[in-house]
Structure 1
Amino acid sequence: MIGRLNHVAIAVPELGPATAKYRDALGAEVSAPQPLPEHGVTVVFVTLPNAKVELLEPLGEASPIADFVARNPKGAIHHLCYEVDDILAARDRLKAAGARVLGAGEPKTGAHGKPVLFLHPNDFSGALIELEQA
């Protein structure tokens, strides 16, 4: 069921300085900032040969990552994103196995324009998991 690692997300208080570190210090290719109001974040993707790093900045005070960033003012790993072939089949299989899908349990459109779901971190060794339709 689980596919390749799509990205590791790092929540940061400000995208500008974080983006500059990856671009200037590490020589990475970075995307332009992309606001995702339906998710309450603005994102930048750092392209790597085998996956991506997603830098997340809260979009407004009501952002679902605002408290996380307040607890981690220098930034911290927020979630891991894995690709799945069929997001609805993956959701149903995981729910049948006792995993909790966050929110209403229905996929939303993610930053790559594909359906995504999030799984409760307590069900996966403390890691927030995002599933993305491949």
Structure 2
Amino acid sequence: MIGKLNHVAIAVPDLVAAADQYRGLGASVSAPQDLAEHGVTVVFVELPNTKIELLHPFGETSPITSFLDKNPSGGIHHLCFEVDDIKAASARIVETGARILGDGQPKIGAHGKPVIFVHPKDFQGTLIEFEQA
């Protein structure tokens, strides 16, 4: 079921500075993209074997705001793995006893594909995102 690592997401207090840091190392860095439904602005850093997703709060109810309140310098927010079938993956995750966040239904993520998030308490303390490949 679980596929390759799609990206590592890092919450950052200054999106421009973080993007510039990776750009300064020669990485290809995307333009910022606002995802109002998820409460984030994202920038993707393209690497040969995966991506880094830089997350910054968008809107007053952004979940990234509380993360940055606890971690003012930022830090790793979640890992994202690809799956072939998001609905089958959702069912399998629930069968294992893990909780899918929100209403349990996939939402469209930053890559325009369905995603779900699994509660960190059910995944060794790490927020996990699954994205349909």
Aligning the two structures, in what range does the TM-score lie when normalised by the shorter sequence?
over 0.9
Moved over 4 A (4+): none
C-alpha deviation, 1:60, in angstroms: 2.1
Q: Answer yes or no: is 1:78 the counterpart of 2:77.
A: yes
Instruction: Report the equivalent of 2:62.
Output: 63
C-alpha deviation, 1:72, in angstroms: 1.0
- Per-residue CA deviations over 1:26-62 (Å, capped at 9, x if unaligned) read 2111000000001000000000001000000000221
Contact 2:36 2:59 in 1 (8 A): no
Whole-Å Cα distance in 2 between the matches of residues 18 and 75 of structure 1? 10
Contact 2:83 2:131 in 1 (8 A): yes
Secondary structure of the residue that 2:63 maps to in structure 1? coil
Contact 2:115 2:129 in 1 (8 A): yes
Instruction: Report the equivalent of 2:14.
Output: 14
Whole-Å Cα distance in 2 between the matches of residues 73 and 40 of structure 1? 18
Q: Which amino acid aligns with 1:52?
A: K
Instruction: Report the equivalent of 1:99.
Output: 98
Whole-Å Cα distance in 2 between the matches of residues 94 and 131 of structure 1? 10
5+ residue gaps, structure 1, are none
TM-score normalised to structure 2 length: 0.98
TM-score normalised to structure 1 length: 0.97
Whole-Å Cα distance in 2 between the matches of residues 112 and 9 of structure 1? 13
C-alpha deviation, 1:70, in angstroms: 1.2
Secondary structure of the residue that 2:37 maps to in structure 1? coil
C-alpha deviation, 1:95, in angstroms: 0.3
C-alpha deviation, 1:118, in angstroms: 0.0
Count of matched residue positions in the alignment of Structure 1 and Structure 2: 133
Instruction: Report the equivalent of 2:2.
Output: 2
The percentage of aligned residue pairs carrying the same residue is 68
Q: Which amino acid aligns with 1:20?
A: D
Q: Which amino acid aligns with 1:9?
A: A
